């Protein structure tokens, strides 16, 4: 990933936990919205954007960027996908957070941002697949039930 792009600078600021510098990357009147399992986050100024990201990444310490991908498109469109891990005391439980940032950039400032996050991933619970299948009617009488139905839809002309 190039280090001289806005998404790369955003990634570096998140990794270094320099949240006030994230606010400086935002244009005045930024249109920022984010959706996470704990709520819908909205901001119209860089300071608030920086504070929102600080809330997300403050618990724990020692963050590591596990994965990142940056893309750029026409008319200032850009995206940043990241997966960050860090340990949360007291048991040093590993936390992993995956986020997608869809950005519009003008004059090296973020003017529009949408962030999507499925939430923290820790240990995945054991799942009784047979029970889930029975509950959903996928297994009938100990045998697999009918598969998904495919229905042909007439093409609108």
pLDDT cut 90: percent of the chain above it: 38
The model's pTM: 0.70
Whole-number CA gyration radius for the chain: 21
Q: Give the model's pLDDT for residue 118.
A: 80
Question: What is the average per-residue pLDDT within 93-112?
Answer: 89
Q: What is the pLDDT of residue 1?
A: 44
Overall average pLDDT of the 141-157 stretch: 53
- For 17-67, what is each residue's pLDDT tens digit? 889 999 999 999 999 999 988 789 999 999 999 999 888 877 655 677 888
User: Is the dihedral angle over the CA atoms 37, 94, 14, 102 positive or is it negative?
Assistant: negative
pLDDT at 145: 52
| Higher pLDDT, residue 156 or 32 | 32
67 vs 103, higher pLDDT = 103
Q: Which of 24, 144, 4 is nearest to 78 (CA)?
A: 4
d(CA 117, CA 45): 21
pLDDT band, residue 138 (cuts 50/70/90)? low
């Amino acid at each position: 990933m190039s280090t001289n792009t806005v998404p790369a600078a955003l990634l570096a600021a998140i990794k270094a936990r320099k949240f006030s510098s994230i606010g400086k990357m935002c244009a005045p009147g930024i249109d920022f919205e984010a959706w996470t399992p704990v709520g819908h986050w909205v901001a119209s100024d860089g300071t608030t954007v920086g504070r929102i990201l600080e809330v997300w990444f403050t618990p724990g310490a020692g963050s590591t960027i596990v994965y990142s991908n940056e893309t750029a498109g026409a008319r200032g469109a850009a995206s940043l996908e990241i997966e960050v891990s860090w340990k949360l005391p007291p048991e040093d439980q590993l936390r992993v957070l995956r986020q997608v940032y869809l950005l519009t950039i003008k004059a090296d400032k973020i003017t529009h941002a949408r962030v999507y996050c499925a939430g923290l991933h820790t240990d995945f619970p054991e799942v009784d697949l047979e029970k889930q299948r029975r509950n959903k009617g996928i297994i009938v009488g100990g045998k697999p039930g009918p598969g998904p139905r495919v229905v042909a839809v007439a093409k609108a002309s």
